[in-house]
Amino acid sequence: MTTHRFSPPGQKAFAARFEAQRIAFGPVVFHCVRLAWKRGWLQAIADSAGEGLSVADMVTQGLGTDYALRVVLESCLSAGVVALEADRYVLDKTGYCVLTDTMTQVHLDFIHDICYEGLMKLEASLDEEAPRGLSVLGEWPTLYEGLSRLPEPAKTSWFAFDHLHSDTSFPSILPDVFKTEPLQLMDIGANTGKFARVALQHDAKVHLHMVDLPQQLALAEMTLKEAGLRERATLHPRNLLDTQAELPGGMDLVWMSQFLSCFSEGAMASILQRAARALKPGGQLLILDTFWDRQRYDIAAYCLINTSPYFTAMASGNSKIYEGSVYIRLAQAAGLQLQDVRDGIGYSHSLMRFSKAAQ
């Protein structure tokens, strides 16, 4: 049972009403802050150090028209991104985050380039359990079939979003992966092969089995070729939404990173059953994923909860960022035993370890 509240304790009605206006005008502020960042206006203000810049200064510097600067910067002012001191704009704390924090920039790009337009179809996507917003990027049944062919800048923004989260977590989980000295290791959802490369470089004895959609495995194969590691990996192209698509057996360890959140509970149950069958007796299933209810900080829970509508409108129509208990329940139903859960990895990951009975 989950109990959670994001509002501050004892919030006054007036403050709540302001919050409600922030929601109503949220998309407007989003566009203005993003533009001020992309056009270099925030950077120019930051570079002016303590003195700040007047709108007239910025016009003289050729940064924009008086009208455009006023419209956009006043919205930034309302959001605490800039402040006005005697008619001169200075950077405020939130503006400093927009300018310097990689996670903020990756999220701004992801929301703008992948989600914004398609989210207009959120309601239809929820009703039809299909990613109806995806057609703004391409005609595929799910976003994953189109990953390798996404138009720019959507492609760069999607991979930056995906890799920001997994890359920051991969180095610290290698001791967990190799704790039981696996020789046959299957990476389900191998994507661009980044985990496979790191794992093969970490352990000279391990053989990697990479599972993903065929077009995605072609990218993963290139990554391994470039690193001179291709011979130590086997590719298994599979669409795991096909319940008949079995996985190769005899695995010491199955690895899934940010994978199950791409699927509905029904599909997850089926994938976990096939993963359990692929394991040798005593084999391990390691799941690295994000669970909004297992976060130490509300900032992480907020970002994760608000990633779910992307899954609905753009990715699959029926997946989301789940609570940790969902994975545990489904893995146990597949006959696996929970060994432990380690939270607080990278920005927001948890690592779940399950094992198959030794018989």
Ligand X SMILES: C[S@@+](CC[C@H](N)C(=O)[O-])C[C@H]1O[C@@H](n2cnc3c(N)ncnc32)[C@H](O)[C@@H]1O
Binding site for ligand X (CB under 6 A): 144, 147, 162, 166, 189, 191, 212-213, 216, 238-241, 257-259, 262
For the bound state, the minimum distance from the C-beta of residue 342 to ligand X, rounded and expressed in Å, comes to: 16
Residue type, 248: P
Q: CA 43, 164, 287: angle at the middle one, nearest 5? A: 160
Nearer to ligand X (CB atom), residue 64 or residue 193: 193
Q: Could you give the 3-state DSSP secondary structure of residue 256?
A: strand
d(C-alpha 41, C-alpha 24), whole Å:
25
Query: What's the CA angle centered on 189, arms 146 and 123, to 5 degrees?
Result: 50
Q: How far apart are CB 184 and ligand X at their closest, in Å?
A: 18
In sequence order, what E strands does 144-245 have?
A: 184-188, 207-212, 233-237
The token pair at 191 is 């994507």
- Find the shortest distance in angstroms from Cβ 239 to ligand X: 5
- Pick between residue 41 and residue 291 the one whose CB is nearest to ligand X: 291
Q: How far is the CB of 241 from ligand X (least distance, A)?
A: 4
- The runs of H, that is alpha helices, within 168-247 are 170-177, 194-202, 214-226
Give the type of residue at 264.
S
Q: Compute the distance between CA of residue 199 and CA of residue 185 in angstroms, rounded to an integer.
A: 9
Looking at beta carbons only, is 189 or 324 nearer to ligand X? 189
Nearer to ligand X, 257 or 350 (CB): 257
Q: How far is the CB of 284 from ligand X (least distance, A)?
A: 17
Q: Which is nearer to ligand X, 98 or 260 (CB)?
A: 260
C-alpha–C-alpha distance, residues 92 and 115, integer Å: 27
